[in-house]
Amino acid sequence: MTIVPFNKPYMTGKELWYISQAHHAGQLAGDGTYTKKCHTWLQKKHDCSKALLTHSCTAALEMSAILADVKEGDEVIMPSYTFVSTANAFVLRGAVPVFIDIRPDTLNLDETLVESAITDKTRAIVPVHYAGVGCEMDTLQNIAQKHQLLLIEDAAQGLMATYKDKPLGSFGDLSCFSFHETKNIISGEGGALIINNSRFTEEAEIIREKGTNRSQFFRGQVDKYTWIEKGSSYLPGELIAAFLYAQLEEAEQIIASRLKVWDYYHELLEPLEKEGKLRRPIIPKECQHNGHMYYILLENLDTRTRLIEYLKAEGIYSVFHYVPLHSSPAGEHYGRVHGSMTITNQLSDNLVRLPLFPLLQFSEIERIVSLIKIFLEG
Ligand SMILES: *Cc1c(COP(=O)(O)O)cnc(C)c1O
């Protein structure tokens, strides 16, 4: 029996060479040659004021929460159907995540529910581009502008995807990416903060460098390097950046091969959707996704549990996520729900993610789909 893992990190082949170059140059701390190359790549891609590598998307979200200056009791609107860091970053600063329901088509936060969740304590809206499919950014930008709220994109899954032909990550005042091993472009652990609103640029550099003006000092803009603000250490070392740069250089090809896998699943699963056995992902016309994830939605929790077991017995590893944050112990303690959570509760029970990585063979996809077919029709 051949085993199909859920994920197999893809390596371009240049990672170790670039790491050896950094090693050879004796550059190990952060903000060296490879970090700069990554910053330039990200800045060009997003046409932003500044891009900064971080240890993770979690770290970029934490920086965003500091930059947003959220205080005890302030509120931040976000979906409940997301990874913990979206909420946790703000909770660390004493803010209250206000969870709203998701759209049934994309599983992104439902933009039509945002305005009714706004109170005089609201400081920011945090859309999450689930599965690398863009949220309804025009509407969200308008709401943020009208109510003078910050827009912070959790674009952890969204690198190289677009909404109305503009890359995800280029809409928010601040945007956060992840290069975790499970994402499309990887460095093991890793992330980036994209700053589109230039009023945050200088402060972001200071927060990332332990609250010092080290970056300005090295650019010769100030003659003393000193502690001037609160901050922490959010910059990764050069070895991580060297690895990441090898991936960024091949980002187009990596995304293209993921999309091929995604499209083949989508094609093969169409008949089962027509029979009403499952639902496939829906991609709105305005969105070009990046093949981050292929999921199917089943009839109920029991079918989902049994399908995952059935595939596992055949050596195929599929997974589910997320436990909605509003029903997790910390979410209940620190957060608040606004409105009904019907869609979130229902879809989070029914969703299965299928194996998806660049080197997944078409023959393996055929086998996976035929097993799903046998299970659902049997
Ligand atoms: C992966 C992920 C994160 C966290 O990314 P890290 O780089 O592991 O910190 C945050 N939000 C979402 C939506 C994610 O998918």
- Ligand 1 centre and the CA of 59: distance in Å? 10
Contact, 35 vs 29, CB < 8 A? no
Map out the domains of the chain with their CATH numbers.
15-249 (3.40.640.10), 251-376 (3.90.1150.10)
Q: Please, what is the average pLDDT of the chain?
A: 97
- Ligand 1 centre and the CA of 51: distance in Å? 17
Whether residue 175 has its Cβ less than 6 Å from ligand 1: no
- Ligand 1 centre and the CA of 157: distance in Å? 7
- Ligand 1 centre and the CA of 225: distance in Å? 33
What per-residue confidence (pLDDT) applies to 1?
80
Whether residue 184 has its Cβ less than 6 Å from ligand 1: no
Peptide bond between residue 322 and the one before it cis (omega within 30 degrees of 0): yes
Output the CA angle 375-297-353, nearest 5 degrees: 85
Whether residue 350 has its Cβ less than 6 Å from ligand 1: no
- Ligand 1 centre and the CA of 178: distance in Å? 6
Whether residue 82 has its Cβ less than 6 Å from ligand 1: yes
Whether residue 88 has its Cβ less than 6 Å from ligand 1: no
Contact, 212 vs 234, CB < 8 A? no
The predicted model scores a pTM of: 0.98
Whether residue 154 has its Cβ less than 6 Å from ligand 1: yes
Q: Which atom of ligand 1 is nearest to the CA of 85?
A: 10
Whether residue 294 has its Cβ less than 6 Å from ligand 1: no
What per-residue confidence (pLDDT) applies to 224?
87
Burial class (CB within 10 angstroms; exposed 0-12, middle 13-18, buried 19+) of 29: exposed
Residue nearest to atom 14 of ligand 1 (CA): 156
Residues of the chain under the 70 pLDDT cut: none
Tell which one of 83, 86, 129, 176 to mutate to probe ligand 1, the residue whose CB is within 8 A of the most ligand atoms.
83
What per-residue confidence (pLDDT) applies to 299?
97
The strand pair at 75-79 and 122-125 is best described as parallel
What per-residue confidence (pLDDT) applies to 378?
81
Whether residue 158 has its Cβ less than 6 Å from ligand 1: no
